[in-house]
Chains A and B, each alone.
Chain A
């Protein structure tokens, strides 16, 4: 495991080494080191403004890495994009946009289909299967904006699944999502994990993080810890990460009070 020559680089979906990430001159996130392997789920945990979304954007190659390295599937982030899928927060999208659910999921195939060509029967089948995986097959013909917030989030996950990624990035997928949709999202993520997809999820829901992830990465402007979820989400490390924010511990349940 420790010898990179012994392990084919493709198994390592994401390798971050002492990365510093900056929009302008001032870094917004420093000292991030960690690995995500195929079939692993890693949770990015930290308060609002900690740099979780920034790290995700860096993995997508949309934000410059000014120090250290970020390697995706053995390549630079920008070169690896075809094998990486990204699930944005559903509520940033315009609910009035005139697209059907099926059209949105089919967008996941566009890169594969390529410029100037229309999606074929296979693409439509893959999209339909992805939609079924999130439990919304019967809503394919509905307009995207008529769905509930949780259902929209599931459609976006289906779009990512249709892309058949090897690394999946989710930005706060459980925010404001109802319980039914949360279960559907978790179920679909388990399916992806079984197929060997590496998953990186940003969240500030610690209970969900404990439930869903193998590893956790604690962030607040810099990295405060990275390791197996149980060993990382400890009161001490969490207190260090969250600073002065209220932190209540009930047995092994940890609650972060949010504004």
Chain B
């Protein structure tokens, strides 16, 4: 019997692939603050998958098409007067998801399919799923490696990048499509909402440990792969939903990082605050964005 003929082994390979691509794209998501968009994407691909199932085409294709439509919708809506990106994203999320539910409710087997979509079924992946996951992982790696420096510039200084002649709109769309490809591939394995955890939590945790993109990326991929594989074993050991276990592991890594990370962790910061109480800080982060008074120094 081949190694791949065992369902658990296939799940293991899938979790490694899914973990790698989520960790990679997570760095972009965290740096560009697109967690909410990722969330919306996980829901907006839903109607596409349902329609694909009904008319009998490839499910990934259906999800991908719906995702591209949603990405374009968010981009277009957020340009409206008085609509910030968060409103546009929430509208797209609600629209996509309710459309999916309505379409699905018109079918038989409503609850069973819906559950599979929400929490995934990594133990039933077949070799075709694995091939798709491998192809998407390879694609994401190649694209990110190719345009890494331009994406960095635009994420750091959007106005500067535009002034330098980069088409930031096109680059945004590229990132959104990458996110979307990862989401569409990951959702069938671990489910809509839990995909968000595997994308955001590892990169968020990595961000707390380092100030350099390269080490952040490596760390994020490591955390994501470990969470995915570890969660799979946990789910087998305790008979709990695999998607839930994977997300909880990833979230636990994030929580531990917020506490124990050097300099940025809660413990290190408390110690730092005590030390610094006598000397006022220089170069504090922008508090205004978080609704707090800006210190009178410097401005």
Is residue A249 contacting chain B, with contact meaning CB distance below 8 A?
A: no
Closest to B284 in A: A95
Nearest chain A residue, comparing its CB with the CB of B160: A88
Task: Please give, as numbers and ranges, the residues of chain A lying within 8 Å of B283 by CB-CB distance.
Answer: 95, 145-149, 152
Contact A99 B298 (CB under 8 A): no
Knowing A98-B211, A110-B149, A116-B147, the reply to whether A176 touches B159 (Cβ < 8 A) is: no
Residues of B within 8 A of A143 (CB): 211
Q: Are A110 and B150 neighbours in the complex by a CB distance under 8 Å?
A: yes
In angstroms, Cα B213 to Cα A93, docked, is 17
Would you call A259 an interface residue if the criterion is a C-beta within 8 Å of the partner chain's C-beta atoms?
A: no
Segment at the interface with B among A78-86, A183-191, A205-213, A240-248: A78-86
Task: Name the interface residues of A105-135: CB closer than 8 Å to any CB of B.
Answer: 107, 110-111, 113, 115-116, 118-119
A60 in contact (CB, < 8 A) = yes
In the complex, A169 Cα to B211 Cα: how many Å?
30
> What is the 8 Å Cβ interface bit string for chain B, positions 214-229, against chain A (1 contact, 0 not)?
0010000000000000
Query: Nearest Cβ distance between residue A198 and chain B, in whole angstroms?
Result: 16
Query: Smallest distance from the beta carbon of B205 to chain A beta carbons, Å?
Result: 13
Contact indicator B149/A86 (Cβ below 8 Å): no
Instruction: Identify which of B62-70, B161-169, B181-189 touches chain A.
Output: B161-169
Q: Which residues of chain B come closer than 8 Å to A116, judged between CB atoms?
A: 146-147
B298→A176 contact, CB < 8 A: yes
* In the complex, chain A residues whose CB is within 8 Å of the CB of B152: 99, 103, 107
Q: Is residue A100 within 8 Å, beta carbon to beta carbon, of the partner chain?
A: yes
Residues of B within 8 A of A60 (CB): 162-163
Q: Does B286 contact A (CB under 8 A)?
A: yes
Q: Are A98 and B212 in contact (CB under 8 A)?
A: yes
A88-B157 in contact (CB<8A): yes
Identity of the chain B residue whose Cβ is nearest the Cβ of A88 in the assembled complex = B159
Shortest Cβ gap from A26 to chain B (Å) = 14
Q: Once the chains are docked, how many angstroms separate the CA of A196 from the CA of B285?
A: 37
Report the minimal beta-carbon distance from A92 to chain B, rounded to whole angstroms: 7
Q: Is the CB of B160 within 8 A of A99?
A: no
CB A57 to nearest CB in B, in angstroms, measures 8
A163 beta carbon closer than 8 Å to chain B: yes
Chain A: minimal CB distance from B143 (Å):
11
**Chain B: CB-nearest residue to A117:** B149
Task: Point out the residues of chain B lying under 8 angstroms from A178, CB to CB.
Answer: 298
Q: A98 near B216 (CB under 8 angstroms)?
A: yes
Assess whether A104 is interfacial by the CB under 8 Å rule: yes
Shortest distance between the CB of B125 and any CB in chain A (Å): 33
Contact of B157 among A78, A107, A111 (CB under 8 A): A107
Contact between A95 and B164, CB atoms less than 8 A apart: no
A94 to B150, CA, bound (A): 17
Q: Which A residues are CB-close (under 8 A) to B299? A: 91, 149, 176
- Choose from B146, B163, B207, B285 the contact partner of A86 (Cβ within 8 Å): B163
- Please state if B163 and A97 are interface contacts (CB–CB under 8 Å): no
Expressed in whole angstroms, the minimum distance between the Cβ of A131 and any Cβ of chain B is 16
Residues of B contacting A255 in the complex (Cβ-Cβ under 8 angstroms): none
Return chain A residues, CB-CB under 8 Å to B210: 98
A residues 130-174 near B (Cβ < 8 Å) are 143, 145-149, 152, 156, 159, 163, 169
Contact residues in A for B211 (Cβ distance below 8 Å): 98, 100, 143
Contact at A62–B163, with CB atoms within 8 Å? yes
Q: Is A253 an interface residue (CB 8 A)?
A: no
Q: In the complex, how many angstroms separate the beta carbon of B241 from the nearest chain A beta carbon?
A: 34
- Asked if B149 and A81 sit within 8 Å, CB to CB, the answer is no
Q: A104-B156, A115-B147 are in contact. Are A96 and B163 (CB under 8 A)?
A: no
Q: A62-B163, A81-B165 are in contact. Are A93 and B285 (CB under 8 A)?
A: no
Interface mask (A14-32 → B, CB under 8 Å = 1, otherwise 0): 0000000000000000000
Nearest CB to that of B207 among chain A residues?
A98
In the complex, chain A residues whose CB is within 8 Å of the CB of B233: none
User: Could you list 19 further interchain pairs (A-B, Cβ under 8 angstroms) beyond the known A143-B211, A163-B164?
Assistant: A62-B162, A81-B165, A82-B165, A85-B164, A86-B163, A91-B286, A98-B207, A98-B216, A99-B152, A99-B156, A107-B153, A107-B160, A111-B165, A148-B282, A148-B283, A149-B283, A149-B298, A176-B298, A176-B299
Q: Rank and list the top 6 A-B pairs by shortest CB-CB distance, nearest first.
A: A86-B163, A81-B165, A143-B211, A95-B285, A176-B299, A98-B211
Selected A-B contacts with CB under 8 Å, 21 pairs: A78-B165, A81-B163, A81-B164, A81-B165, A82-B165, A85-B163, A86-B164, A88-B157, A88-B160, A91-B286, A91-B299, A98-B210, A98-B213, A107-B153, A107-B164, A111-B165, A115-B147, A119-B149, A146-B283, A163-B164, A169-B163
- Measured CB to CB, the residues of A under 8 A from B are 60, 62, 78, 81-82, 84-86, 88, 91-100, 103-104, 107, 110-111, 113, 115-116, 118-119, 143, 145-149, 152, 156, 159, 163, 169, 176, 178
Name B's A-contacting residues (CB within 8 A): 31, 146-147, 149-150, 152-153, 155-157, 159-160, 162-166, 207, 210-213, 216, 282-286, 298-299
